[in-house]
Amino acid sequence: MVSFRKLEIIRIFKSKLFLFSVLFCFLLGPKSVFALEDFQASESHSFVANVASMVSPSVVRIDIEREIPTDEFESDLLDPLLRDLLGDLGTFPKKERGQGSGVIIDSSGLILTNAHVVEKVDRVIITLQNGNQVDGTVVGTDQVTDLALVKIKEFPGLVSAKLGDSEDIHVGDWAIALGTPYGLESTVTLGIVSSLHRDINTLGFSDKRLDLIQTDAAINPGNSGGPLISSNGEVIGINTLVRSGPGAGLGFAIPINLASKVTNQLLANGEVIHPYLGAQLVLLNERIAKEHNQDPNALIFLPERSGALVQSVIPQSPAEEGGLRRGDLVINAGGTEINDPGSLLMEVENAQIGKPFELEVVRNNKEINLSIKPAPLPGIS
């Protein structure tokens, strides 16, 4: 009897335990599932959406107007007899309108954008995210880096973006482009940083000095001057151009560290002074040099090593005065090894005007040292 009673107690206990387990799963199970779904839904919005909503109030649309001289009648449409009858009609101003983006970097009303967006304009109109429009004044532009500052009046509610460190980003990091492409406000595109230190000269812009951030985040006309931001909402670059034709879909941004440096100079002086040597450079490496030296018609022998080869020297330039000659191969500048023209230009950019800038060059298979004093880059207005 005792054994039977024990078995009965165990059976009842198991039955109650089963009912309790079912009840527990019923009460808590669905909540756990729903909580997981809510968490996943929250995660799906916390990356791009939250970052974009945080930075978007700092992004502005920039509308510009400029006058360009033009004939009242197109010369190719005007009959020659009528042209002789009317005489010289002169030129007449014509309104040209353009559009771009910008980012507020100081709550006092300071906006960073591209130089090509606001250069030589007669009027700048800034549209804030809330729809308010206000006139802007161009503080200064720098064509060499394609950066510009615009100032609007200070008033409550201006939100400035947080600037990051462009030296702290890596290939493969998330990149989010904000702007107003085609006049469509608050547009957000997502991609990654696909390359760093992309020399703008390789893209066909020989008058610029820029190592760009390359991204596959869509950058369209009107995005120029808008911010490229990281996954934590910091500005890492200023969108400047997009590649068309072969390789279309790649966008490029100016590193924010360079933009900050240019900003400080524009605020202090209204312009940016760039050092220059006055030499045209081409890439030389071991392969190129060997192919050249194997040519029986080659006029000179090139050193079979990497560096910046001097193709020509501008007369009366610092390079000529410092003794740099055509055919010299620059292999070191200011203590930094030089493997290509881009690395030399970056060292020149960091040099001081009028101060000795030490170069090590290969000439006639001998390494010699030169001291050149950089001068301000001429011809920039």
Q: Answer yes or no: are the C-beta atoms of 351 and 359 closer than 8 Å.
A: no
Report d(CA 249, CA 379) in Å as an integer: 33
Q: From the candidates 224, 306, 317, 343, which is the catalytic residue?
A: 224
Scored b (16 or more CB within 10 A) or e, 52-89 reads beebbbbbbbbbbebeeeeeeeeeeeeeeeeeeeeeee
Residue 211 known to be catalytic: no
**Catalytic residue of the set 56, 71, 107, 116:** 116
> Residue 262: is it exposed, middle or buried by C-beta count within 10 angstroms (0-12/13-18/19+)?
buried
Collect all residues with Cβ–Cβ distance below 8 Å to 45 and sequence separation of at least 6.
none
Q: Of 186, 233, 236, which is closest to residue 214 (Cα–Cα)?
A: 236
- CA 318 to the chain's CA centroid: 30
Could you tell me which residues are beta bridge partners of residue 279? 313
Residue 150, beta-bridge partner list:
111, 138
| 76 is a catalytic site residue | no
How far apart, in whole angstroms, are the C-alpha atoms of residue 369 and residue 312?
19
Residue type, 220: N
SS3 for 224-250, per residue?
A: CCCEEECCCCCEEEEEEEECCCCCCCC
Collapsed DSSP state (helix, strand, coil) of residue 167:
helix
Place of tokens 């799906």: 44
146 noted as active-site residue = yes
Task: Determine contact, residues 360/127, Cβ cutoff 8 Å.
Answer: no
* Active-site choice (63, 142, 146, 211): 146
Active centre residues (catalytic): 116, 146, 224
